[in-house]
Amino acid sequence: MTAPPGALSIVLAGEAVALLAERALWWPREKTLFVADVHLGKAASFRALGQPVPSGTTRDNLDRLSHLIDALAAQRLVVLGDWLHAATARQAQVMDAVRAWRARHAQLDCLLVRGNHDSHAGDPPPALRFDIVDEPFRLGPFAACHHPQTVGHALVLAGHLHPAVQLRGRAHDRAHLPCFCEAPGLMILPAFGAFTGSTRELPAATVRCYAVGGGQVVALPWWGGGR
């Protein structure tokens, strides 16, 4: 498999996949793109509470998603939870942008695995034509989930944690990078959304992290001290 620029090709559950520098996972055999924790409308929700946060993050998230869909000729998008951030994200400027994005990708099959934020934000409107399921949802050898968990006879693809690692350089230099987090039977994706937090409290069973930075994904040995 030829991975996109900056991607890292690995094998999960016997399937060739690519970990993308855009913080997504690509399953080429099924032409399926996985993303987690998009949190559309998060900035708008904060502004509705009077918080001075940047605007334009929803459009940026959708533009980055469109770029991946077009570049990979993806036929299916699987969102591993937290598509919208909150009910307050259902503002005209957010939903108009989402509807325009969906019209641009009218032939794309879209699947949302409900996450904790989706339970508060509500399901996407029917006009967006998402198939909406609860976790775990089986797709071949994978179980699509939002929360990291164990599913028998499947490798779980999940989100929720917004994982990140801290790399130490010379002197006191440190870099805080989003990462893919691998544990037995589990791969946790970094948050796709641009305006999201992150955590370095990764599962104790973590065996390897794949750091995202500088337009590429790099496999790191898990030494237990990069949190």
In this predicted structure, what is the pLDDT of residue 12? Answer: 97
Task: Enumerate the H helices of the chain as residue ranges.
Answer: 42-48, 57-72, 92-104, 116-121
In this predicted structure, what is the pLDDT of residue 48? Answer: 47
Paired with 181 in beta bridges are 188, 209
Pick 105 or 167 by higher pLDDT.
105
Paired with 63 in beta bridges are none
For the stretch 61-78, pLDDT in tens is 999 999 999 999 999 999
Whole-angstrom CA distances from 153 to 28, 61, 134, 145 are 21, 33, 18, 14
Query: Within 13 Å and on the Cβ side, how many CA atoms surround 202?
Result: 28
Mean residue pLDDT across the chain: 85
Which residue ranges make up each domain of the chain? Answer: 8-220
SS3 content of the chain, % helix, strand, coil (to 5): 20, 35, 45
CATH code, 8-220: 3.60.21
In this predicted structure, what is the pLDDT of residue 103? Answer: 96
